[in-house]
């Protein structure tokens, strides 16, 4: 099957940091279908060869194991071409049409790694140049809009020129092997299903912590913030994966229908819950990994009086029969104590304790997403018996855990998120992409938080870089009698 992959934003950050390295890995692993062509699109005139040379130099910044040897790059470069285009100029689109007409690839993928403000223009112009054929697939990077209205506007324009099954809305978390294993855990194993409900689970934590600050994306981030950047998409997708019902099959719409039901079941916000169940923070100076780092307001590109949040913690519930009353806590932030993404499923304590158990300790299933990728099952066991201990000689139970490390188990067999997702687009598999109604539902759920913040004079709470966010985040979960997993 031949394909043309047109990379709008071909000289941009995402292209050379993530997409080209992922395409190269797919090529190296022999997964890229034969007969492919990758056309980088950029504003400045350059030849195919100049673009290849530019790209070759960019690979020097890629981690060593993922860097091509000169021979490998020479073979990979044969697939690569360049097309100059100013995306805001309708007259430039026929240039791309001519390039694509050089051959009739079976599939034409248009990857919009551009500013989201260009999405509607590009889609309309593609249609204007007759490039929205049944062979066309469009990939849209997040953020798709700034709020519900702008998201709907983009989806409406895209929907006028392409059918829904031609649109691949990327959420790279869904491409992570660890997230796929979450689906495997839930729907490929019978073990946990009977326990996956309100009767046995007390609460669930979803943490996505980063050590990094805003890096060079200060001005983008300052208009975005953690709620739009991480919660509206990645965190809610994880919540769906944990909370959804088993789909009837692994077809894209079977999965997406179930995720949509979770999003529609999220408890609506009230003035009280907005006040008590959402915490926003902004990092101040501090130290991460022993290195002093500046505060958010000192970062390049950031407005020194900015009230943009770099941290969010919130509590929600899925109001349905399976989950009614079970709190789901979400927490994400930049410049936190460690790079750590994990989901902790906390089980209820035994209904009647005959052994002495340390306070607050019960079974937990910890789903490590990154940097570790694996599962830990926390159980209680008896250690050494000490004669004369309290409670008629019964020693108290101690926590022990079973530890499954997917990285060492599967190691090099695994493919990275972007590699997986790019191959899925080329093959036309929509399972791991977000449907427009799902995305709109997620926006409508975060919208009241955005509105509440706009009207709230308090602004984000400062936290020291390298900490775990403002103390209000621990206080929020403590009001329910719990604490975040790393604080246990």
* Active-site amino acid positions: 234
**Whole-number Å distance between alpha carbons of 477 and 132:** 49
Q: DSSP string spanning 161-226?
A: HS-GGGEEE--GGGGSHHHHHHHHHHHS-SSSGGGSSTTTEEEEEEEEE-S---TT-HHHHHTTHH
Supply the minimum distance, in Å, between the C-beta of residue 438 and ligand BG6.
Answer: 17
Tokens 């809610």, residue located: 236
C-alpha angle 177/181/183, rounded to 5°? 120
The DSSP symbol for 486 reads G
**Whole-number Å distance between alpha carbons of 468 and 41:** 41
Cβ distance to ligand BG6 smaller for residue 229 or 317? 229
Cβ distance to ligand BG6 smaller for residue 205 or 229? 229
What are the angstrom distances between the C-alpha of 95 and each of 9, 41, 102, 219, 357? 16, 11, 11, 32, 71
Cβ distance to ligand BG6 smaller for residue 19 or 162? 19
Supply the minimum distance, in Å, between the C-beta of residue 322 and ligand BG6.
Answer: 28
> DSSP H helical segments within 266-390, as ranges?
271-276
Supply the minimum distance, in Å, between the C-beta of residue 486 and ligand BG6.
Answer: 17
**Whole-number Å distance between alpha carbons of 360 and 480:** 12
Tokens 């926390």, residue located: 378
C-alpha angle 451/274/229, rounded to 5°? 60
**Whole-number Å distance between alpha carbons of 38 and 7:** 7
The residue nearest ligand BG6 at its CB is 229
Supply the minimum distance, in Å, between the C-beta of residue 321 and ligand BG6.
Answer: 32
Cβ distance to ligand BG6 smaller for residue 232 or 473? 232
x/- mask, ligand BG6, residues 142-181, rule CB under 6 A, reads: ----------------------------------------
Among 210, 299, 317, 373, binds ligand BG6 (CB under 6 A): 210
Cβ distance to ligand BG6 smaller for residue 24 or 173? 173
Confirm or reject binding of residue 340 to ligand BG6 (CB under 6 A): no
Supply the minimum distance, in Å, between the C-beta of residue 56 and ligand BG6.
Answer: 25
**Whole-number Å distance between alpha carbons of 485 and 482:** 9
Supply the minimum distance, in Å, between the C-beta of residue 98 and ligand BG6.
Answer: 34
Burial class (CB in 10 A: 0-12, 13-18, 19+), 28: middle
Contact between 327 and 179 under an 8 Å Cβ cutoff? The reply is no
Cβ distance to ligand BG6 smaller for residue 180 or 276? 180
Both ends of the chain: CA-CA distance in Å? Answer: 53
Supply the minimum distance, in Å, between the C-beta of residue 446 and ligand BG6.
Answer: 15
Cβ distance to ligand BG6 smaller for residue 342 or 435? 342
Contact between 357 and 394 under an 8 Å Cβ cutoff? The reply is no
Contact between 306 and 222 under an 8 Å Cβ cutoff? The reply is yes
Cβ distance to ligand BG6 smaller for residue 4 or 210? 210
x/- mask, ligand BG6, residues 217-246, rule CB under 6 A, reads: ------------x-----------------
Supply the minimum distance, in Å, between the C-beta of residue 220 and ligand BG6.
Answer: 8
**Whole-number Å distance between alpha carbons of 196 and 482:** 19
Interface ranges with ligand BG6 (CB under 6 A) = 210, 229
């Amino acid at each position: 099957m031949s394909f043309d992959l047109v990379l709008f934003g071909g000289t941009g950050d995402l292209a050379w940091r993530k997409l080209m390295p992922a395409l190269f890995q797919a090529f190296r692993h022999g997964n890229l279908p034969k007969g492919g062509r990758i056309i980088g699109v950029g504003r400045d005139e350059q030849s195919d060869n100049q673009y290849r040379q530019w790209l070759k130099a960019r690979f020097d910044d890629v981690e060593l194991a993922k860097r091509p040897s000169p021979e490998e790059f020479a073979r990979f470069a044969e697939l690569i071409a360049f097309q100059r285009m100013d995306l805001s100029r309708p007259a430039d689109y026929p240039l791309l049409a001519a390039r694509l007409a050089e051959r009739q690839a079976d599939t034409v993928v248009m990857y919009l790694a551009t500013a989201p403000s260009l999405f509607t223009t590009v889609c309309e112009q593609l249609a204007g140049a007759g490039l929205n054929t049944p062979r066309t697939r469009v990939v849209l990077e997040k953020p798709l809009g700034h709020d519900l209205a702008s998201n709907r506007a983009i989806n409406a324009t895209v929907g006028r020129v392409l059918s829904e099954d031609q649109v691949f809305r990327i959420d790279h978390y869904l491409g992570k092997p660890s997230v796929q294993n979450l689906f495997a855990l839930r729907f490929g194993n019978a073990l946990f299903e009977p326990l996956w409900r309100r009767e046995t689970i007390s609460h669930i934590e979803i943490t996505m912590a980063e050590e990094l600050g805003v890096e060079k994306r200060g001005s983008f981030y300052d208009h975005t913030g953690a709620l739009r950047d991480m919660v509206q998409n990645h965190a809610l997708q994880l919540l769906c994966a944990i909370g959804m019902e088993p789909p009837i099959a692994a077809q894209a719409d079977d999965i997406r229908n179930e995720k949509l039901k979770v999003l529609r079941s999220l408890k609506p916000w009230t003035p009280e819950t907005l006040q008590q169940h959402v915490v926003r923070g902004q990092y101040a100076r501090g130290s991460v990994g022993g290195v002093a780092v500046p505060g958010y307001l000192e970062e390049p590109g950031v407005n020194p009086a900015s009230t943009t949040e770099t941290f969010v913690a919130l509590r929600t519930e899925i109001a349905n029969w399976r989950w009614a009353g079970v709190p789901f806590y979400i927490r994400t932030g930049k410049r936190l104590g460690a790079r750590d993404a994990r989901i902790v499923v906390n089980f209820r304590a035994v209904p009647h304790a005959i052994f002495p158990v340390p306070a607050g300790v019960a079974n937990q299933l910890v789903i490590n997403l990154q940097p570790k990728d694996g599962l830990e099952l926390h159980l209680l066991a008896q250690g050494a018996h000490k004669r004369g201990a309290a409670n008629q000689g019964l020693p108290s139970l101690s926590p022990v855990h079973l530890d499954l490390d997917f990285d060492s188990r599967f190691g090099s067999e695994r493919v990275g998120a972007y590699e997986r997702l790019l191959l899925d687009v080329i093959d036309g598999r929509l399972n791991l992409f977000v449907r427009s109604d799902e995305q709109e539902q997620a926006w409508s759920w975060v919208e009241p938080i955005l509105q509440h913040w706009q009207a709230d004079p308090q602004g984000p709470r400062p936290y020291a870089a390298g900490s775990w966010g403002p103390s209000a985040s621990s206080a929020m979960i403590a009001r329910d009698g719990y604490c975040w997993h790393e604080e246990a």
